[in-house]
Amino acid sequence: MNNYVVGLLKNLYADDYGEIFCGMQLKTFYFTLLGKQSEFAQVFLNMCEDENSHQKILGEKIIERGGEIDFDKNIFNNLIFTKNIKEMLNFVIEIKEKSIINYKLSIAKMPEKDVALLLKKILIDEQKHIMICRDLLEKYCQN
């Protein structure tokens, strides 16, 4: 087992603002808005589906390298519960910015080129999510 690679992957998977947390936060926002603000709910669901894909990729790589899937259940203490769309979008931007920093650091440290390539693809999704949220803020939340 390559403990170093597994450690990098597990941080992205289950860190405070890792894929598990981000997916749960987006799902929380989706359900909060479901039936009320369907356009925003759909955006959060689409992002959540990307997070699920990222979880699958990272989880498979962790297992392939002899690691185990686990995470501190306390990460869910950082979830926010709000009905304010502007707050939701700003929080998603905040957690995605932290996630992007973590991905960039992990890519720079990743000794396995094939895994670094996968991480770069996930990084592109994270950057896309920020652009979507910023566009929605600009379009609907100007105050």
How confident is the model over 56-85, as pLDDT tens digits? 999 999 999 999 998 888 888 999 999 999
Inter-residue contact 39 to 45 (CB < 8 Å) = no
How many domains does the chain divide into?
A: 1
| pLDDT for residue 143 | 60
Q: Which domain, by its residues, includes 43? A: 3-140
Look at residues 122, 78, 72, 75 and name the one whose alpha carbon lies nearest to residue 100: 122
pLDDT at 130 over 90: yes
